[in-house]
Amino acid sequence: MRNVTCVGSILAALMVAGCGGGGGNSGLNSTPVAPDSVSKSTSLINVTQNDDFAASTKQTSFTAAKASGTITSVGSVSGAANTYVHYDVASKRYTVGGLSSTPSFSEANKSASKSNAVLSVYEKTSGSRNETFLLFNPGAGNSSLALTYASYGAWLIMDDRSTSIDANISFFTFGTRTAAADMPRTGTASYNTIMDGIFADSSGFYSLSGTGSFTADFGASTIAFQANPFAANQLGGPSKYLATFAGSGAIDSNTARFNGNTTNADGLRLDLNGYFYGPGAAEMAGTFSLSGMNATGVGAIAGKKN
pLDDT at residue 298 in the model:
95
Q: Is the pLDDT of residue 14 over 50?
A: no
pLDDT at residue 31 in the model:
56
CATH number at residue 143: 2.40.160.90
Q: Is the pLDDT of residue 174 over 90?
A: yes
Would 172 be classed as within a structural domain?
yes
Would 277 be classed as within a structural domain?
yes
Helix/strand/coil (H, E, C) string of 137-173? Answer: CCCCCCCCCCCCCEEEEEEEEEEECCCEEEEEEEEEE
Split at pLDDT 50, 70, 90, the class of 34 is confident
Euclidean distance between the first and the last CA atom of the chain, given in angstroms as a whole number? 17
Concatenated DSSP letters of the chain: ------HHHHHHHHHHHT-----PPPP--SPPPPTT---SSS-STT--S-EEEEEEEEEEEEEEETTT--EEEEPPPEE-TTEEEEEETTTTEEEEESSSS--EE-GGGB-TTT--SSEEEEEEEETTEEEEEEEEPPSTT-SS---SSEEEEEEEEEEE-SSEEEEEEEEEEEE-BPPGGGS--SSEEEEEEEEEEEEEETTEEEEEEEEEEEEEETTTTEEEEEEEEEEEESSSS--EEPPPEEEEEEE-SSSSEEEEEEE-TTS-EEEEEEEEESTTS-EEEEEEEEEETTEEEEEEEEEEE-
Would 49 be classed as within a structural domain?
yes
Would 1 be classed as within a structural domain?
no
In tens, the pLDDT along 233-242 reads 887 788 999 9
pLDDT at residue 205 in the model:
85
Would 202 be classed as within a structural domain?
yes
Q: Which of 4-18, 153-167, 285-299 has the highest mean pLDDT?
A: 285-299
Q: How many CB atoms lie within 10 A of CB 13?
A: 14
Q: What whole-number distance in Å separates Cα of residue 150 and Cα of residue 101? A: 24
Give the rounded percent of residues in the chain with a pLDDT score beyond 90. Answer: 64
Would 69 be classed as within a structural domain?
yes
Range of the domain at 291: 7-26+38-305
Would 32 be classed as within a structural domain?
no
- Which pTM does this prediction carry? 0.88
Q: Which residue has the higher pLDDT, 68 or 42?
A: 42
Number of domains in the chain: 1
Would 2 be classed as within a structural domain?
no
